Amino acid sequence: MPTQPGPLFLNRELSWLEFNARVLAEAFDERVPLLERLKFLAIFGTNLDEFYMVRVAGLRRQVAGRFANAAPDGMPPQEQLDLISARVREMIEAAQRCLYGDLLPRLAEYGVRIVAMADVTAVERQGLDAFFAAQVYPVLTPLAVDPGHPFPYISNLSLSLAVELRDPERGVDRFARVKVPKSLPRWVPVPGRTNEFVPLEEIIGSQLGALFPGMQVVSSHAFRITRYSDLELADSEESEDFLALIEEQVFQRRFGEVVRLEAQAGTPPAVRALLLDELREPEDEDALPLADADIHEHGPLLDMGDLLALAGLELPVLRDPPFTPSVPAPLREPERSIFEVIRERDLLVHHPYDSFAATVEQFIEAASRDDAVLAIKMTLYRTSGDGAIVRALTEAAERGIQVAVLVELQARFEEVNNITWARTLESFGVHVAYGMPGLKTHAKVALVVRREPDGIRRYVHISTGNYNGKTARVYTDIGLFTCNEPVGADVSDLFNLLTGFSHQRVYRRLIVAPTGMRERVIQLIQREAAHAREGVQGRIIAKMNALVDRETIEALYDASRAGVRVDLVVRGICCLRPGVPGASDNIRVVSIIGRFLEHSRVWHFANGGAAEYYIASADWMPRNFSRRVEVAVPIDDASLHPLLASLLRTCLADDRQAWDLTSGGSYARRLPEPGSDRATQQRLLRDSWGLFSG
């Protein structure tokens, strides 16, 4: 029987904020090297930007549209917004304390400083003035605001200076806006100093007299806005040109309503009021006007995401120690091709511990050079347009190999990049499909069709992560290489669905969304519950990025009541409330935050002793189950099960990077006993797949 909403469900948006709070906690953690702590502070800031652009903006539209539907936890949209606002202000205050009270003073001990213009010498000032005159001044466009000059368009997430001026001849107060150009570095080196920088906006602020000659500069303060930035594709199924529709939506996104105004600490009330008044009224009637509660005043530095550039300084003593990804043993024999290895047995790879270049990129590159290869097919969600995979695909097409690529144009905030390199692929003769109307293709699948002495053979790679060599160095993901015939046949059917006309719903081995993944996951959970009711120990361990889907959560509650022991490793959002008497007594939820972004999805079901393991592209969320093309694949080779069992065991035993979700919705950090350190990622860096006991 379905559970009632409310006490058994945690709010999705507040759960996400607690995830970002765990990211922020890494910036406070003295066990983390200083520049890595600065990196986490930058990630915290960029995470918050996206949260406002999409999630907060969506809630505001619900309020504006007077939607009565509440979230599964029973909380109406306005209440969610109020709680989000209060929590975000707490987090920003903590982030400011971290930056100014801890990180910057500590970094200064190592010679890394952010310097104010007031603190540079006369000689250094001359060098900065010369930099301004040569590099900055030609780029700037001061924009006046008066009856003859309407308030200018402000782009999303751009940093600007709000300038108060006085005309000494007329005795009239004026206002102007100066955009801090993104095309120039935010942190300008102080001449003659090493690793000391002046923020670009301070240099501009010190030179406002050159921009407004004859005017008296009264004040200047930085501000920044956040706009609604999600795509709206309600009519995508009727569109004759999906690519053109995406391009139009990306263009229109630039004019989304303002949902947040960040102002530098000390901004005069009159300037705040002017900005709020000019930005208040959205053009879209479905949008909520900006209000005082939507102003976040902090600083002096806005846009913490830019701290990522400073976090990249080459100071090894302040960075995580470097590591070299390993090459799986079967691929270390130069005389054997990767196809020989896969023909012999299935292969699991775990990035970033296993080299992406020596496995995934090598797979596609080898296929592009192989005269026996007839076709290469791939799904590309987020990739690097100038990376080895795209180069290999173009080379294969030039050699006459049939190459078909499904490019997902709706990958959030990657739309422009994906359009650009998709057209590049087309120019080389690659067959490019742009996804299915109404669905995002989030599956990570590659297929190589090869002619061999005993007939046609299909080689498959299925992964939990994107085909992106850059993110493969910082995201943890698992991939399966196989030439299993039923899996290969399923992948062929999947590509026929993606690139042609097909109503394929039944697959031999793959679990595919949106045609049945939710149903299959719930069946697997219910099977464990049935075993438990029959007296056989039920066991579920699932690792993912987010758990939101209500039906799946209800199935997990039912399994817990039946006596199934459930362990969930959920990095981010979790709407399931663990440890509730009579509902989730047997469910434990842990989140792991560390050097790498935990991105792999692994499912384990004990199945009465006949254990099953799956890897998947999907989280257990409504969007993954219902609005995306996703793939989960069983790991049929039982000899590979200990690798996945070891990974899951390592995550659950973590006492350094792990946080336990409490029944109240908060997270408690695990602290190691003296002499103990079971940090998941450190152990895997040391032991690769972590084949150890405990």
> Looking at the annotation, which residues are catalytic?
442
Listing DSSP states for 434-475 in one string gives ---TT-EE--EEEEEEEEETTEEEEEEEEESS-S-TTGGGTE
CB atoms within 10 A of CB 501: 6
Vertex 636: Cα angle to 635 and 640 (nearest 5): 60
In residues, how long is the chain?
694
> What is the C-alpha to C-alpha distance for residues 508 and 5, in angstroms, rounded to an integer?
36
Q: Which two tokens stand for residue 661?
A: 């979700």
d(CA 143, CA 160): 11
Distance spanning both ends of the chain, measured CA to CA: 38
User: How far apart are alpha carbons 353 and 586 in whole angstroms?
Assistant: 32
Q: How far apart are CA 587 and CA 567, in angstroms?
A: 6
3-state secondary structure 104-116: HHHHHCCCCEECC
Q: Which residue is listed with tokens 């935010």? A: 186
Helix (H, G, I), strand (E, B) or coil at 58: helix
Assess contact for 601 and 615: CB atoms under 8 A. yes
CA distance 687 to 685: 6
Phi, psi of 381 (to 5 degrees): -100, -60
DSSP string, 604-629: EE-GGGS-EEEEES--BSHHHHHSEE
Give the whole-angstrom CA distance, residue 272 versus residue 557. Answer: 49
Q: Which residues contact 681 (CB under 8 A, 6 or more apart)?
A: 476, 592, 594, 595, 596, 657
Residue pair 258/229 in contact (Cβ under 8 Å)? The answer is no
CB 150 within 8 A of CB 130: no
- Cβ neighbourhood burial of 684 (10 Å; 0-12, 13-18, 19+): buried
Name which of 487, 498, 459, 462 is nearest 373 in CA terms.
Answer: 459
